[in-house]
Amino acid sequence: MRVLLWYWGRRGGGAQFALCLARGLMARADTALALSVSREGDLAAGFQALGVPCDLVATYRSAPGFLLGFGRVRGLGRRLARQARHFGADVVLSAMPHLWTPLVAPALRRAGIPFVPILHDALPHPGDPAFAWNWRLRRELAAARGAVVLSGAVEAVIRARAPDLPLFRLPLGAHLPGKVPAEAARSHDFLFFGRIRAYKGLDLLRDAFARLRLTHPAATLRVVGQGNIAAVAPGLAALPGVTVEQRWVADEAIPALIASAHAVVLPYREASQSGVLPIALACGVPVVATPVGGLAEQLRDGETGLLAATATAPDLAAAMARLLDPALRARLADGARQQGATLMDWDAQAETLLAGIRPWLRPT
């Protein structure tokens, strides 16, 4: 199969996901790979270093750049279709939607080139910007030959919106930016890592941790991520035992950060799925999470971590308290490490993905 992998994002988990998937695809003897990636992306050099045909596309780095770039979008659609035809692509696979995807993807459909998006989300996260969300998703689905989803939670929404569109569910792998760290000193009991957003339930974590400290006064929590903690969880930073670091974490520093904790906590109020969760498992770090959306699918309760009974502060605190038991934590860490090894196998991930979408690409 000849695959043109399209990713115009800049940074973060989406970039790592696309790069890991590219490596898995190019490792297959039965697959030829080409790339269309953003020139402004932090991992542009990493994509180029793969040694496959790679078109670096000028996108944007700022809101003004986004607006000024609209004049180039139609030409970019023709450029992507031209690259696909020249490469002889059997499919253009979008690793993650971009704000320009709904404007560009129709050009592929008009050119008769199969387009398959990997859909990480089906709905805007509560509290996140949702400008023209329904219009963008509708355009993307209308241009698609089929779509790949990463959780049952996303699949249910997409099936309701596009009942005739073929869907394939691919469990999210561990897009680990670097090697699994060796056994490290654990500086905190719990770590929350990721962009600080309202839907991630940091206010719920605040209340749960305050409860936990009543019975476990030595418990510690580290919160690391870019965003305004005071806006989403006022008072969290002032709690005893809590360390808050409002900053962006470079990709190469993520494994060591994850490995610095005894457990990762995901107190989300809503979730399509989590990219942090498989990374934690790959690092041998168990996870405690609320049972919302795709988290309940990703986490094997009692094997690789613990699911709170409900997404409430008392139940989250109770699950966190259980994870303070060293014997249970060690058993869950072993389970996490075993599942994490599977999630890091991107060759297998690529094989599963191609097997899932291949039936859609036969001539109709």
What domains sit in the chain, N to C, each tagged with a CATH number?
A: 2-173+345-361 (3.40.50.2000), 188-343 (3.40.50.2000)
Q: How confident is the model at residue 182 (pLDDT cuts 50, 70, 90)?
A: confident
Task: Tell me the mean pLDDT in the region 256-267.
Answer: 95
The predicted pLDDT at position 14 comes to 87
Instruction: Supply the mean pLDDT for the chain.
Output: 91
Supply 187's token pair. 């500086």
Is pLDDT above 60 for 364?
no
Report which of 25, 83, 84 is spatially closest to residue 50, judged by C-alpha positions: 25
> Over the stretch 56-91, which tens digit does the pLDDT of each residue have?
998 876 666 666 666 677 888 899 999 999 999 999
The predicted pLDDT at position 21 comes to 94
Q: Are 283 and 256 in contact (CB under 8 A)?
A: no
The predicted pLDDT at position 68 comes to 65
Question: Tell me, what DSSP letter sits at residue 273?
Answer: -
Please state the length of the chain: 364
pTM: 0.89
Buried b (16+ CB within 10 A) or exposed e, 26-40: beeeebbbbbbbbeb
Please count the other Cβ atoms lying within 10 Å of the Cβ belonging to residue 228. 10
The predicted pLDDT at position 186 comes to 82
The predicted pLDDT at position 176 comes to 81
Q: How confident is the model at residue 228 (pLDDT cuts 50, 70, 90)?
A: very high
In the chain, the percentage of residues whose pLDDT exceeds 90 is: 71
The predicted pLDDT at position 63 comes to 65
> Please, what sign has the CA dihedral across residues 191, 294, 207, 327?
negative
> Over the stretch 297-355, which tens digit does the pLDDT of each residue have?
999 999 999 999 999 999 999 999 999 999 999 999 999 999 999 999 999 999 999 99
Is pLDDT above 80 for 128?
no
CA distance 300 to 284: 14
CA distance 285 to 332: 8
Is pLDDT above 80 for 159?
yes
Is pLDDT above 90 for 190?
yes
The predicted pLDDT at position 98 comes to 85
Q: How confident is the model at residue 135 (pLDDT cuts 50, 70, 90)?
A: confident
In the chain, the percentage of residues whose pLDDT exceeds 70 is: 95
Is pLDDT above 60 for 363?
no
CA distance 53 to 212: 53
Task: Tell me the mean pLDDT in the region 350-364.
Answer: 86
Kindly provide the residue ranges of all beta strands, DSSP E only, lying in 47-173, ordered along the sequence: 54-57, 91-94, 115-119, 147-149, 167-169
Q: What is the DSSP string of 232-269?
A: HSTTTTTSTTEEEEES---GGGHHHHHHTEEEEEE--S
Report which of 183, 195, 287 is spatially closest to residue 232, judged by C-alpha positions: 195
Put residue 10 in one of left, alpha, beta given phi > 0 → left and psi -120 to 50 → alpha: alpha
